Chains A and B, each alone.
Chain A
Amino acid sequence: MDTDQLIRSLAADNAHRAPRVGAVLTMALLVAAPLSILIFATFLGVRADVMSAMHNPFFDMKFAVTLSLAIPAIIVSLHLSRPEALLRGWGWLLLLPVGLLAVAIGSEAMMAPAMPMTMRLMGRNSRVCLVAIPAMSLPLLAGALFGLRHGAPSRPALAGALAGLVSAGLAATLYASHCTDDSPLFVATWYTLATAVVTAIGALVGSRVLRY
């Protein structure tokens, strides 16, 4: 087939309209979310003392941190799904949860400590955290990768890493309502480790499936 002939067939297909990447990503995450919630409901559940926990600003802070990861990661991943897009000018959005955590760690340090620092950092749930966040991330990660496949990222591994951040941020939001460790030191250590695992998986898979 010569190029003029190919062009003719493309022009004949001009009426075909694909949905926007954002719409496909949203749908894919909505389809995946029930699976993650099912894992949460089956194995974890909301902590028993949630009503009193809500009066603790460090409990609320966990959601601010995880959502300030998930939402900017969605925005940046949609930006990067355009072929000509660069991370430059957008990457700072991903530092929001880091900044929030730093503020939280600082304010906790200024309060009279209820527990010694190492106990706050190690917590009681570090192993559950390291398993639960990646496990609940996997359905969401598959959804995010499916959604981003509809785009045309010029750096598939980077886009895959963003998909990892999206899914880890959402999974960590669920997990935060289960975990009784509210210290920002715990969050900064274990949530970050779990997120790093998911991000690495996302980058690895993304480098294969996000090529267009």
Chain B
Amino acid sequence: MRGREDEWTGLMRSAMAGDDAAYHRLLKAVTPVLRAAARRGLARAGQPPDQAEDIVQEILLAVHLKRHTWDSEAPFAPWLFAIGRNKLIDTLRRRGKRVFVNIDDFAETLPGEVPQETASAGEVAAQLGTLPQRQRDVLQSIAVEAASIKDTAAKFSMSEGAVRVALHRGLAALTAKLRDH
């Protein structure tokens, strides 16, 4: 447990220092843990586990957009799990459930079997359709088609800077829509 969390903290420090690959590795590493915790939380609230992936994606977006609130001197896991709890509670409230989120759902204990598959979630995909054309194109290109920023810029005859701006705005707009819908 300790080792895993120290590794996360190290990856996040590298990510904040500009290492995109470390950031990618970190997000991949925390996702199965978040997924298992979201399923546990939903099960405890008597909800079907099929919303778990929506929660995971909302957590990942919040982690991304709020990572400037992480103190690089502090361990990463408590910060991550606090966001996880917040998003689980939000989801349950939105569904009109009385909320009893067990603090352990996002605690530092890892379940033995962790579902590894990547799952599709409905809400991000649905909100993607409501974004302005350019943001949607850029997100589609980078996320789904796995194109680089450079290739995406060439494809849409945009500057790389404009692609970066559209990507960031698209992610921020997605998050706002998920929060407010």
Binding site for B on A (CB under 8 A): 1-21, 81-84, 150-152, 154, 211-212
Contact = CB atoms under 8 A, between A and B. Distances in A.
Given A13-B171, A16-B168, A152 B62 contact: yes
Contacts of B23: 10-11, 14
B86 A14 contact: no
Contacts of B171: 9-10, 13
A2 B118 contact: yes
B119 A10 contact: no
Contacts of A14: 15, 18-20, 23
Given A1-B121, A10-B61, A84-B79, 10 more contacts: A1-B139, A2-B120, A6-B60, A7-B27, A12-B167, A18-B65, A18-B68, A83-B82, A151-B66, A211-B90
A192 to B, nearest CB: 32
Nearest to B126: A1
Contacts, number: 119
A9 B82 CA distance: 23
Interface string B7-28: 0000000010011110110011
A1 B144 contact: yes
A199 to B, nearest CB: 23
Nearest to B74: A84
Report which residue of B23, B31, B125 has the largest number of chain A beta carbons within 10 angstroms of its beta carbon.
Answer: B23
Interface size class of chain B, counting residues whose CB lies under 8 Å from the partner chain: 35 or more
B97 interface: no
Interface of B: 15, 18-21, 23-24, 27-28, 31, 53, 56-57, 60-62, 64-71, 74, 78-79, 81-83, 85-86, 90, 118-121, 124-125, 128, 139, 142-144, 146, 148-149, 164, 167-168, 171, 179
Contacts of B24: 7-8, 11
B20 A21 contact: no
Contacts of B167: 9, 12-13
A3 B64 contact: no
A8 B69 CA distance: 22
Given A2-B119, A7-B28, A84-B78, A15 B164 contact: yes
B66 A83 contact: yes
7 contacts: A2-B119, A5-B144, A6-B143, A10-B60, A10-B171, A18-B67, A154-B82
B83 A9 contact: no
Nearest to A84: B82
B79 A3 contact: no
Contact of A4 (B21, B64, B118): B118
